Chains A and B, each alone.
Chain A
Amino acid sequence: MSAAARTHWLLALLFLLALLLIGAERLPGTPASLRVLGFETVLLLAGVSLLLGVVNVLALHLRRIVLGQQDWPLSLLLIAVLIAVAGAGLLTPAGAASPLLEWVFDALIAPGQRALFALLVFFMAAAAFQFLRIGQRGGLWMLAGFLLLLLVQTPLPLWLLSQKQLPAAASFLDPLTNAARWLLDVPAMAALRAVLLGGSLAWIVIGARLLLGKP
């Protein structure tokens, strides 16, 4: 048996065991302390995995520095910042609540994260320019869904349509909004429910494959 096959069968065995434990955990007689210990163990292993992930990033950037790859000075900077922040936090009893770490959070982490996520809207606009086109596959329908929701959620188009300068707009505004609501509440919602059901069915297939040793 190859190493990969051994791993697959071990995973299948552990998966079966986990299913049995989850089933047993739901039984009324199961001690609560045992249940808590089980999930605290998962929490501990997840924490260690997270730390291993950080070490992996460190190793990756160290390798870039050693090999002198492109942007290696930036890798050096990343490692220096990582070690400085982690060291400062671990050396003080207050940890993340220490003034230095709070300053790092307020001056670097929070503004950086906020700025990075605020940029996403620009790339979404670029995607809209590119893909919400009538000629694209499915583009007409996506464009319709997009416009319907925009009509329902944004005050300005409704406000513009209902102005006195556009007297004819008032007569079709209400039916249009009602139709948009119906399309969003019925067919679009049905499609989203189907996506949820499809996701669950996919997990059943994944589970079956795991049990058969074919992940």
Chain B
Amino acid sequence: MATVLCPHCGTPNREGSHFCNRCGAALLAAPHATPPQQQPASPATPDRAASQPWLDPGFVGEDDVPLEEESADQALLGEQAPLPAPRLVSALQGLLDPIRVVTIPQEGGETEPSLPATALTAEKLRRVRSLMAEEPLVASSPLPVPAPSLWLRWIFGILAIGVAAPLLLGWPLPADEPTRWTGVEPGFDSIQALPSGARVQLLWAFDSATVGEMELVSSPVLRHLAARRARVAASSLLPAGPATAQRLLSRIDPERTLWASPDRASAVPSVRFLPGGAAVLPLLAAEPADLAVLLAAQAEDVQHWLEQVAPRNRVPVLAVTAAGADLPLRPYLESGQLVGLVSGFDGAYQYNELLGQPFAAADIPLLRRQIVGQSYGALTLLAIVLLGNFAAWLAGRPRER
């Protein structure tokens, strides 16, 4: 396929394009590019590009219309393929769907219905596009490591600012408190009902990857267990799980009240690493316990416990999970297989309230920041979704519902 290099940013564009696909500069006077075989190879390997398409410099998102190959027979016959209508590329450079603003009538071809934006002149379009484009780079060849498509950057930027700005600038906290989910109170009651010295199995199914959220929700539960003088036997399904557990427990339980006597003498709390996932969980069914507390970032780990361990030892199970694991586990709460379910920042907030002072004092400031971040983050996401729908509406290309 013959291409034209943009004189502005160096991006290869299909021959006949009026504007650059990336920066919006006018292309009609641009020099012709090299044949496709001389195009620089994508720095992203095919494997990586397949699994992480945003790493591929050619990735423009589903919205953008890719440069189509001209059919061989058209080229042989010397026919010019129909030109695509100039697009308000990705109107705000990708934030919006590609819009066919002006339709160039083709001889004998069908014309597409024009949109109201036809009133915009080419010059105005160019200005809008260059306003929203990347920094003007004068380059005669494509960038060595092109960045992902711009709409992605816009979304990343909007979200980063939408969440970080309220946190860093100390924007006000919404007056309302987080929602109250069913499952937190029964979970609290299940620990409250434990006698002093009760044996508790602890499954540590998270590591430093998800500690940011899991610390919030695990801390009040672990404090509660320590207050009830429970004796804990812990295992982890992740290699970095024991180290994460030791760090969190040394902060929450410096007196080491949670640990059964042999372990309390040792330098670090012992958390056994169990590779093999669900296949090795039945091993834990042999341990005597009054309650099983599962600290899990993913719903699957709780599900595996309910399938492999709970039917064997019949010990009541309390799940303490990330917010994302909440909904898939609700059926187990309804069926009574879980005695309680504490999840996410809102579950943590509710549990801390039940726990009361002085236990909650350490977590409340962190939780308040979470509530601020969640609130403004949700609003930002709403704006992003709205933009996506606005883009689709502008594009006027409704797909199958």
Contact = CB atoms under 8 A, between A and B. Distances in A.
A174 to B, nearest CB: 13
Interface string A97-134: 10000100100011001101110011101101110111
Given A46-B276, A129-B155, A122 B378 contact: no
A136 B212 CA distance: 34
A160 B375 CA distance: 11
A37 B283 CA distance: 9
A139 interface: yes
Contacts of A49: 275-276
Interface in B23-57: 43, 45, 54
Contacts of A140: 401
A138 B381 CA distance: 19
A157 B151 CA distance: 26
Contact of B280 (A25, A42, A135): A42
Contacts of A32: 286
B197 interface: no
Contact of B212 (A40, A105, A114, A133): A114
Contacts of A128: 381, 384-385, 388
Nearest to A119: B156
Contacts of B211: 110, 114
B330 A137 contact: no
A43 B275 contact: yes
Nearest to A163: B175
Given A137-B400, A153-B346, A192 B212 contact: no
A58 interface: no
B208 A114 contact: yes
A171 B61 CA distance: 41
B378 A156 contact: yes
Nearest to B331: A193
A139 B401 contact: yes
B235 to A, nearest CB: 11
Contacts of A153: 178-179, 323, 344, 346, 374
B207 interface: yes
Contacts, number: 174
B279 A42 contact: yes
B275 A47 contact: yes
B160 interface: yes
A101 B36 CA distance: 50
Which 8 A-B pairs give the minimum distances between C-beta atoms?
A46-B276, A156-B375, A110-B208, A159-B174, A39-B283, A113-B209, A129-B388, A154-B378
28 contacts: A35-B286, A42-B283, A43-B276, A46-B275, A47-B275, A105-B243, A110-B244, A122-B156, A122-B160, A128-B385, A128-B388, A129-B384, A132-B388, A134-B389, A135-B399, A140-B401, A150-B378, A150-B382, A153-B344, A155-B177, A155-B374, A155-B375, A156-B376, A158-B174, A188-B327, A189-B334, A192-B330, A193-B331
Given A43-B283, A136-B401, 18 more contacts: A39-B280, A47-B276, A50-B275, A97-B268, A110-B211, A113-B208, A114-B212, A117-B212, A122-B156, A123-B54, A125-B380, A129-B384, A154-B374, A154-B378, A159-B174, A159-B175, A192-B330, A196-B328
Interface of A: 25-26, 32, 35-36, 39-40, 42-43, 45-47, 49-50, 70-71, 96-97, 102, 105, 109-110, 113-114, 116-118, 121-123, 125-126, 128-130, 132-140, 143, 146, 150, 152-160, 162, 188-189, 192-193, 195-196
Interface of B: 43, 45, 54, 61-63, 151-152, 155-156, 158-160, 174-179, 207-212, 240, 242-244, 267-268, 274-277, 279-280, 282-283, 286, 303, 312, 323, 327-328, 330-331, 334, 344, 346, 371, 374-382, 384-385, 387-389, 392-393, 397-401
